[in-house]
Structure formats: C-alpha cells, structure tokens
Amino acid sequence: MLRIVEETVEAITPHVLGCDAFEELPDPDPRASVEFLDRWTAMGIPEFRAVSTLAFLALNVYSFLRTGRLFPRLDPDSQAHLLERLYRAKGMLPYQFLYFLSTPAVNAYYSRIDVQLLLGFDIAALKEESERRLVTRDGGPLPPRDAAAAPSGEVAGR
C-alpha cells in the first residue's frame, strides 16, 4: 500500500468515528484501520484495491487544491473542516467517495471485540445461543441429530 494512502487512512480515522462521542467507548486505533484495509484489499477483488487507493489519493488532491497541503499534513481542525465540506455534498458520487474513505475505519473499529461487547453484542454468547436453536421451514420440531432418514423420507425410529 502506498505510504500516502496509509497516512491518509490513519488521519481520517478519528474524524470518521468521532473519538470523543461516547466516553465509555474506546478510542479508535488508526493503525488498525490501515491493517484492516490492507487485509481486506488483499483478500478482495483487485478493483476494490484500485478504487480505494484512488479515493484516498483523490482526497489528497482535493486537500491540496483547497489548502495547499496533503490531508495528513493538515492540523485536525483543518482536516475536519475539509471533511465537513465533503459530507455536505449531495449525490451518489460524493456518497460513494465517502463510503470508500470511511470503510476501513468503521469496519476496523466495529469488528473489535471490546467495542462489540460495549454495544451489547456478545458474539460468543450469540453463537452459542444460535447453535442451540432448532429451525424448520414449517415450524415443526426437527428430528434428533443422530437419527437417520428412512428411504421413504420418514425418520427412522418413528
């Protein structure tokens, strides 16, 4: 990943997540956002890597044209002001642009176990509960897991 893209992901992370919005939630880790984007683009389709890189480069071009400096080189207040202008833009293109800019930070933050627990999502407990549930299409009970189906479709032992 290009160094300017990494620096931009790190710089944008606090602005996307609003570090001080809730006292009980931990601060985001900008480095985790970079690592998430790197893992995600390595496993995903090549076009996603290209579009994500392009979005972060475009943010730097926009920043340079508006302020004369690249986005990571701006102070936090100037970064916030620049992003506010983008968030006020209307239309599908600005929405998609902001989607690609915010995806690494949002996904890296909300995939953290400590954040999920604070939000009320105990993944281990939810997985355990889902494994105990028996679901059928018609609402009837399922046969025991170890029962073999008879040739006629009937459950053996009934």
Domain boundaries, the chain: 3-130
CB-neighbour burial class of residue 104 (10 A; exposed 0-12, middle 13-18, buried 19+): buried
Higher pLDDT, 147 or 63: 63
Mean pLDDT (the chain) is 86
Least confident span in 37-41, 66-70, 113-117, 146-150: 146-150
Higher pLDDT pick, 75 / 143: 75
DSSP string, the chain: --HHHHHHHHHHHHHHHTTTS-TTSPPP-HHHHHHHHHHHHHHS-HHHHHHHHHHHHHHHHHHHHHHSS-GGGS-HHHHHHHHHHHHH--SHHHHHHHHHHHHHHHHHHHT-HHHHHHTT--HHHHHHHHHH----SSSPPPPPTTPPBPTTSPBTT-
Q: Residue 158: what pLDDT?
A: 47
pLDDT at 149 over 60: no
Residue 132 is predicted with a pLDDT of 78
Q: What is the pLDDT of residue 21?
A: 61
For 122-144, how does the pLDDT look when each residue is reduced to its tens digit (9 = 90+)? 888 888 887 777 666 776 666 66
pLDDT digits (tens, 9 = 90+) for 91-116: 898 899 999 999 999 999 999 998 99
